[in-house]
Amino acid sequence: MIVGIPKEIKNNENRVAITPAGVEALKTAGHEVYIETNAGIGSGFTDADYKQAGAIMLDSAADVWAKAEMIMKVKEPIASEYGYFRQGLVLFTYLHLAPEPELTKALVDNGVVAIAYETIQLPDRSLPLLTPMSEVAGRMAVQIGAQFLEKPWGGKGILLGGVPGVLPGKVVIIGGGVVGTNAAKVALGMGADVTIVDLSEARLRQLDDIFGGRVKTLMSNSYNIEQAVKTADLLVGAVLIPGARAPKLVKEYMVEQMSPGSVIVDVAIDQGGSVETIDRITTHSEPTYVKHGVVHYAVANMPGAVARTSTLALTNATLNYALQLANKGWKQACQDNAALAKGINVVGGNVTFEAVATALGYEFTAVEKVLA
Ligand SMILES: NC(=O)C1=CN([C@@H]2O[C@H](COP(=O)(O)OP(=O)(O)OC[C@H]3O[C@@H](n4cnc5c(N)ncnc54)[C@H](O)[C@@H]3O)[C@@H](O)[C@H]2O)C=CC1
Ligand SMILES: CC(=O)C(=O)O
């Protein structure tokens, strides 16, 4: 198979979908790899590194998209890339379609086989291609939140860990999955007072065990969220219902009760965001805006800022699946691997992921039907 890797063009997206080690693995399995010039620069991989591993470098993105049978990316394509879509092209990348009606329409109209990293799901319900970036974003959420709590960055002037004689800052994390757990690790490491809110009693018990009682756990309901949010210095949005639009759990009236200079980092923004006052996606260039006196951060590609770490972590997880797709073709690979089949969101003009179909008003086609 011919595999193409274009350079990422989203704002400050420095990750790349393959490393030289990945190129070597695909070449060894008998595939051709075309990579756009300078695609790896933001992650510290040069064109020479890729050539040495056996890739062919191409100067234009258009050539990479045109020659490839499967495109591997990191972020969901942006509008200027929709023109490259064509019938039968396999697109393997993060897609987050539920809040993206235009991208979904372009994939449907052009008959692309769109396989989303974030909905590939193992029998234990874990999301192996989302997990590494959720680990990164969860850890970053507190690091970034701590910075924006500083006065010069618009915050209230709180040091999360406090100092002897002064209470620590309060971090409230809504969603105790991978992002939430990693955010809690960093917040505890800084000495903050940490509360995690989740809907699952079993998960809250696990978190209580994992952290040896050092985090406070709270059942998710509107009353508890209001009580927790109004006293938070840093609020981290970390909920997920796989493939679906994030539920807006933090209402505007709750944000209005937060004290001025508090900070919200809504990591769940890639699925539409979990905070009502987040009405736009922000970028690494302009990461925040202030509403009701509260600093809002809603960057949908947080790991792009720590690209070297993120590219290595992401490709550790994606390569094995990319090899299956390239070795067997998408249909056979998905017939053989039920976890991979859960990644198929759009194929042959059909929406095959139910939460996406529901969010965007498409008829749902069961994936088993397209794999038959
Ligand atoms: N902005 C960015 O750059 C990045 C964003 N993300 C996003 O972060 C979000 C979280 O991802 P993960 O932690 O990997 O998901 P996860 O599936 O590991 O955790 C989600 C948690 O949310 C909980 N939850 C669901 N509904 C809830 C409710 N009503 N109240 C409270 N908790 C609820 C679940 O029980 C689960 O524990 C996703 O949208 C993911 O795509 C991930 C990486 C980077
Ligand atoms: C998960 C995702 O969309 C990201 O890492 O950018």
Give the amino acid at 242: P
Q: 288 CB under 6 A from ligand 2?
A: no
Give me the CATH topology for the region 2-112+308-370.
Answer: Rossmann fold (3.40.50)
Q: 132 CB under 6 A from ligand 1?
A: no
Q: What is the mean pLDDT of the chain?
A: 98
365: its two tokens? 């086609």
Give the amino acid at 198: D
Give CA–CA dist 191/360, Å, rounded. 42
Q: 301 CB under 6 A from ligand 2?
A: yes
Total number of residues shown for the chain: 372
CATH class of 133-300: alpha beta
Residues annotated as part of the active site: 96, 270
Q: Which residues pair with 297 in a beta bridge?
A: 265, 288
Which residues, including other chains, have CB under 8 Å from residue 203's CB and lie 6 or more apart?
176, 177
Pick the atom of ligand 1 nearest to 304's CA: 3
Pick the residue whose CA is nearest to atom 6 on ligand 2: 301
Categorize the per-residue pLDDT at 222 as very low, low, confident or very high, splitting at 50, 70 and 90: very high
Over the stretch 11-59, which tens digit does the pLDDT of each residue have?
A: 999 999 999 999 999 999 999 999 999 999 999 999 999 999 999 999 9
Over the stretch 56-86, which tens digit does the pLDDT of each residue have?
A: 999 999 999 999 999 999 999 999 999 999 9
Over the stretch 281-321, which tens digit does the pLDDT of each residue have?
A: 999 999 999 999 999 999 999 999 999 999 999 999 999 99
* 209 carries a ligand binding annotation: no
pLDDT, residue 132, reads: 98
- Interface confidence (ipTM) of the complex: 0.99
Give CA–CA dist 236/137, Å, rounded. 11
Pick the residue whose CA is nearest to atom 2 on ligand 2: 301
pLDDT, residue 125, reads: 95
Share of the chain above pLDDT 90, in %: 99
Mean pLDDT of 192-203: 98
H or E, element range at 163: none
* 86 carries a ligand binding annotation: no
pLDDT, residue 126, reads: 97
Categorize the per-residue pLDDT at 170 as very low, low, confident or very high, splitting at 50, 70 and 90: very high
Q: What is the distance, to the nearest Å, from the Cα of residue 49 to the centroid of all Cα atoms in its chain?
A: 27
Q: In the chain, what's the furthest Cα-to-Cα distance?
A: 66
Q: Which residues pair with 172 in a beta bridge?
A: 195, 235
Is the pTM higher than 0.90? The answer reads: yes
Mean pLDDT of 238-265: 97
Categorize the per-residue pLDDT at 354 as very low, low, confident or very high, splitting at 50, 70 and 90: very high
Mean pLDDT of 194-208: 98
pLDDT, residue 223, reads: 98
First to last CA, the chain: 22
pLDDT, residue 171, reads: 98
pLDDT, residue 114, reads: 98
Do residues 5 and 72 touch, judged by C-beta distance below 8 A? yes
SS3 119: helix
Q: 271 CB under 6 A from ligand 1?
A: yes
pLDDT, residue 200, reads: 97
Categorize the per-residue pLDDT at 10 as very low, low, confident or very high, splitting at 50, 70 and 90: very high
Over the stretch 103-143, which tens digit does the pLDDT of each residue have?
A: 999 999 999 999 999 999 999 999 999 999 999 999 999 99
Do residues 214 and 193 touch, judged by C-beta distance below 8 A? no
Share of the chain above pLDDT 70, in %: 100
Do residues 123 and 339 touch, judged by C-beta distance below 8 A? yes
Give CA–CA dist 54/52, Å, rounded. 5
Alpha helices (H) along the chain: 20-28, 47-53, 61-67, 101-109, 131-148, 178-190, 201-210, 222-230, 252-256, 307-328, 330-336, 338-341, 354-360, 367-371
The three-point CA angle 134-139-141 to 5° equals 90
Domain with CATH 3.40.50.720 in the chain: 2-112+308-370, 133-300
pLDDT, residue 277, reads: 98
